[in-house]
Amino acid sequence: MDTARYYTTQNKPLSEEPISKNSVPRVGALHIWTGVKLGALVTAGVGLGYWAALQQQEREQKTSSATELDTSLGSEISRLKAPSTIPYTDYENETKPSYYRDTSRPMHDRMEAFVLDLQDRLVASLESLEPSRRFVRDRWQREDGNGYGISCILQDGEAYEKAGVNVSVIEGTLAPGQLKSMRERNPHTAQKLSATEEYDFRVAGVSVVVHPRNPYAPTAHKNYRRFEVYRKGERDAGPVLAWFGGGADLTPSYVFEDDIKHFHQTLKHACDAHDKSYYPRFKEWCDKYFTNVHRHETRGVGGIFFDDLENKEPEELFRFVYDVGNAFIAAYVPIVAKRMTMPYTVRERNWQLIRRGHYAEFNLVYDRGTKFGLMTPGARIESILMSLPLTARWEYMNEPEHGSPEDKLLQTVRTTFDWTK
């Protein structure tokens, strides 16, 4: 993929049409409270003179608050500068690491080496855009001794409001709820795993969520893992069942078709190198999985998603996961670099926070990984909930103006597109 060509193209305007200031209310919690309070006072029959005074007070507060917000909002843009190159965006032409080439090592060990290596590469590429902060590395051990993790977190930066790159390598006994969930989602798994037996498991995975500060830069998520299941106490006999799972998806607040096409085309290129059926299958799977059913919209503009992948030899599947895992850097980080210096106002910031609220809804209500983590005894809650944004917003009955850029985003996530054409 020609990532450099995409990266150096000029930004296009969001819309040729004027944007109404009424699309997304520019009021904060104080102004909402004041409006409710004023309505209550009028209902109670307060005199018009007092009502007019309160209206004037609210206008003054709103003007003052907006001025304060506008002077600080977007101030980070002047301190941001996109680098001429971004590390690790050309994985196809790099020398492959030893864990990739050494087929004599157990697959679990190679997957562990891969996710640790990929974590370092992701951190370096993301940090190349961030002038003020670096990721904090938090290495932790499970209290029962069954595994460890490394959580790399960056908060309150200039380019990123919150970003996390987590690795976990854990083992244990499948809880009844976990076993039930596995058997229900896949008939093949149900044939291999008995509902009356006990099983141990091992998993090595990397999970990434990035929430940029600029509303025009999209949120992105990625995770890849290998899961192995053994009859309890019989690890030496080898796994009863083992599979790969994961994917990557993009969640913008504003629609830039060039960005979305670049993201999808980069992932498609990585998929096609292994199986041309992968991208269309996994893209459709992604659209169905990342859906906020209660809102009748997808979480974002999709990407790829797969689970229980065991249809080929483990070596071939490992190489596929290696490629799509590394392709995420080329697919996503240049988009942030391209959008992070675009000017924005309170309007765009509020819309970004509303969309982050929808993002949080999916993660807490539907996400399979979150549910699995929370059901795992001794789970590290801080790492599981790392995916949640630092800030979010819920406005009652928020409806963007028809034809506005915010409305365009809603129309986009209420249907699906082929972004590779």
Catalytic residues: 221
Whether 283 contacts 304, CB under 8 Å = yes
Question: By CB neighbour count within 10 A (0-12 exposed, 13-18 middle, 19+ buried), where does 273 fall?
Answer: middle
For 298, the 3-state DSSP assignment is strand
Q: Measured on CA atoms in the order 277, 219, 301, 227, is the torsion positive or negative? A: positive
Q: How many CB atoms lie within 10 A of CB 266?
A: 26
Tokens representing 405? 């850029």
Query: Three-state DSSP class for 306?
Result: strand
205: left (phi over 0), alpha (psi -120 to 50) or beta: beta
Residue from 103, 89, 99 nearest 3 by CA: 89
Residue from 71, 25, 40, 20 nearest 393 by CA: 25
Cβ proximity of 373 and 384 under 8 Å: yes
Dihedral, CA of residue 136, residue 142, residue 145 and residue 146, to nearest 10? -110
> Among residues 149, 129, 334, 306, which one has the least CA distance to residue 222?
306
The answer to whether 356 and 363 are in contact (CB under 8 A) is no
Could you give the residue ranges of the DSSP H alpha helices within 128-256? 176-185, 187-192
CA-nearest of 182, 178, 154 to 166 is 154
Question: Are 250 and 220 a contacting pair, CB within 8 Å?
Answer: yes
Q: SS3 letters for 357-412? A: HHHHHHHHHCCHHHHHHHHCCCCCHHHHHHHCCCCCCCCCCCCCCCCCHHHHHHHH
